[in-house]
Homo-oligomer: A and B are copies of this chain.
Amino acid sequence: MEAPRAGALARRISETTVRRLSLYLRILEEVERAGTDTISSEELAERAATTAAQVRKDLSLFGSFGKRGLGYSVLQLAAELREILGLDRSWRVALVGAGRLGSALFEYPGFRRRGFEIVAVLDADPEKLGTSWGEVPVQDIGQLEEVLRGERVDIVILAVPAEAVLDVSARVVAAGVKGILNFAPMQLRVPPDVAVKDVNMAMELEALSFALSQTSRAPTG
């Protein structure tokens, strides 16, 4: 459940490494907007709250970048990271669940900017069917398989209630989709060739309550 469960190479690269790569890309884009051409592993590390050794190790997993003493070309490294992260193409995304969370995700500005295009929205609520979100019609979840195949969907975002997620995820997998971003508070079990990321809001808060508890229990000083 920690690492995306797909791909020979993906299996060997940890989730935390992939997150750092995403973060490096964001930093490079900031630096680029500020008009800077090159960046050292030390600068990149400092902004990413990690070490220069870690930056070099992460990047060396994918080949050699940068020139000793000259740092990395910001434009070139950003392009390489986009390719590594699969962001040098667009991805067709279906959103299943047109509730409040689904609506917030649909409007999330970071998706389209990164090439994730929501091409279909599905829900079970008859009152929502026939309405449109932007230019995307809300379709009947009864038609899930047909919509996923017809729209050639690569990735499904699940924003359905916990009690619906097992059934819906099984149908998504059966329809041949290989990537699922799951917001329902339940771990999905899928075949090994399907990549899943579970975003569990309560678990995120638990990481904070854990940290705060340790602090308050630790001896002072």
Q: Pick 30 A–B contacts, CB within 8 A, sort by A.
A: A1-B49, A2-B20, A5-B211, A7-B213, A7-B215, A7-B218, A8-B214, A13-B210, A15-B16, A19-B207, A22-B206, A22-B207, A23-B187, A49-B189, A84-B210, A85-B206, A91-B209, A100-B100, A100-B107, A101-B101, A104-B104, A105-B201, A110-B200, A111-B205, A113-B202, A114-B206, A179-B209, A179-B211, A180-B208, A197-B204
Query: Which A residues fall within an 8 A CB radius of B?
Result: 1-2, 4-10, 13, 15-16, 18-23, 26, 48-49, 84-87, 91, 93, 99-101, 103-105, 107-111, 113-116, 154-155, 157, 178-181, 185, 187, 189, 193, 195, 197, 199-215, 217-218
A1-B48, A104-B99 in contact; A116/B212 too (CB < 8 A)? no
CB distance from A128 to the nearest CB of B (A): 15
Specify which chain B residues have a CB less than 8 angstroms from the CB of A104 in the assembled complex.
99-101, 103-104
Q: Among the listed B108, B181, B185, which residue makes an inter-chain contact with A110, where contact means beta carbons less than 8 Å apart?
A: B185
Specify which chain B residues have a CB less than 8 angstroms from the CB of A101 in the assembled complex.
101, 104, 108
